[in-house]
């Protein structure tokens, strides 16, 4: 099943949204879960600087939403992984596609930014590095972006695979290297 | 739920015509044996087994809804 979703180095948002909708609707029919999915596209240029990088968003709602959201939205994340594989997109385009359910992940990302800011304030005062819990590549990116303009600190990722975590360091530590 | 395993597997592989799912069903459990084209084995397993794990997570959720324990075996 060849899919052409990237044209001239740009993600073809409407073709991607259509392919994603088709996959997810087929999935819901086969699974017989009581859920509806709405897929929309976002033009990053029109969305402004503060917006997420998501260009194609699928949002689920319905009686079976707990199935997706239980245990830290484990099933939603699994479905996102399978969707990205089914679309056969390069890694750089994968982070522009988000699956969500009733705004759960948008809320989770906001919590993550708040946690990052609180931890960064602590590093500024204590001058000691602070390690956040291991996170997915997407979550780490959110943390790096949330803190990139904060004075007095810098961020790095350390560790491999599932254990990779963001470390917040005092800014002057970089001058010591 | 055989159709579910089939639908996901067909979307992942390059040879959907070679996707075969055999269901071994008991009263309280079901095992789905998934067979794919040899070239597609990596696609249904994924790096560090992530894709196979994602399919099992989905089946786990379906098990809760169907009140039937469902497992996935990928046959090489």
**What are A109-122's pLDDT values in tens digits?**
899 999 999 999 99
Angle at CA of residue A93, ends A92 and A97, nearest 5°: 130
Name the pLDDT band for B71 (thresholds 50, 70, 90).
very high
Give the single-character DSSP code of A17.
H
Chain B residues in contact with A33 by the CB 8 A cut-off are 62, 65
Answer for the pair A143, A132: CB distance below 8 angstroms, yes or no. Answer: yes
Each residue of A73-107: pLDDT tens digit? 999 999 999 999 999 988 888 888 999 999 998 89
CA distance A153 to chain B (A): 34
Predicted ipTM?
0.95
* Domains annotated on chain B, with CATH: 2-75 (3.30.300.20)
For the segment B45-57, what is each residue's pLDDT rounded down to a tens digit?
A: 998 899 999 999 9
Strand partners, A49: none
The least confident of A6-20, A47-61, A151-165 is A47-61
B7/A74 CB distance under 8 A? no
What is the domain partition of chain A in residue ranges?
Answer: 6-102, 108-170
A74 chain-B contacts, CB cut-off 8 A: 57
Name every residue whose Cβ is closer than 8 Å to that of residue A39 and which is 6 or more positions away in sequence: A17, A20, A21, A24, A56, A57, A58, A59
Q: Where are the beta strands (DSSP E) in B1-76?
A: 20-25, 29-35, 69-74
The reported pTM is 0.84
Whether residues A30 and B51 touch (CB distance < 8 A) is answered with: no
In terms of CA atoms, which chain A residue is nearest residue B53? A78
> Is A25 an 8 Å CB contact of chain B?
no
Fold observed for domain A108-170: Ribosomal Protein S8; Chain: A, domain 1 (3.30.1370)
CATH number, domain A6-102: 3.30.300.20
CB of B46 within 8 Å of a chain A CB? The answer is yes
Please compute, for residue B26, the number of CA atoms within 13 A of its CA located in the half-sphere on the CB side.
Answer: 8
Six token digits for residue B73: 């075996």
Q: Are the beta carbons of B11 and A31 separated by less than 8 Å?
A: no
Q: What residues in A contact B34, CB-CB < 8 Å?
A: none
Find the closest chain A residue to B57 by CA distance: A75
Whether B51 sits inside 8 A of A81 (CB atoms) is: yes
**What residue spans of A6-162 are helical by DSSP H?**
13-31, 44-47, 65-87, 91-94, 104-126, 137-147
Residues of chain B positioned with their CB less than 8 A from the CB of A64? 65
Share of chain A above pLDDT 70, in %: 92
- Can you tell me whether residue A29 is helix, strand or coil? helix
């Amino acid at each position: 099943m060849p899919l052409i979703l990237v044209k001239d180095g740009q993600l073809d948002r409407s073709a991607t949204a259509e392919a994603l909708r088709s996959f997810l609707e087929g999935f819901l029919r086969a699974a017989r879960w009581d859920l509806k999915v709405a897929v929309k596209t976002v033009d990053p240029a029109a969305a402004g600087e503060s917006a997420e990088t998501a260009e194609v968003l699928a949002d689920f709602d319905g009686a079976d939403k707990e199935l997706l959201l239980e245990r830290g939205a484990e099933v939603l994340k699994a479905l996102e992984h399978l969707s990205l594989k089914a679309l056969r997109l390069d890694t750089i385009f994968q982070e522009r596609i988000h699956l969500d359910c009733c705004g759960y992940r948008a809320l989770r990302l906001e919590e993550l930014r708040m946690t990052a800011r609180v931890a960064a304030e602590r590093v500024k005062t204590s001058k000691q590095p602070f390690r956040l819990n291991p996170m997915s590549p997407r979550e780490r990116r959110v943390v790096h972006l949330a803190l990139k303009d904060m004075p007095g600190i810098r961020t790095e990722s350390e560790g491999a695979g599932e254990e990779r975590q963001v470390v917040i360091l005092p800014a002057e530590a970089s001058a010591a290297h | 739920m055989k159709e579910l395993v089939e639908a996901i597997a067909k979307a992942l592989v390059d040879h959907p015509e070679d996707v075969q799912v055999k269901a071994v069903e008991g009263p309280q459990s079901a095992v789905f044996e998934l067979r794919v084209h040899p070239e597609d084995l990596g696609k249904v397993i994924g790096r560090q087994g992530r894709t196979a794990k994602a399919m099992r997570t989905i089946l786990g959720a379906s098990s809760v809804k169907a009140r039937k324990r469902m497992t996935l075996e990928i046959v090489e």
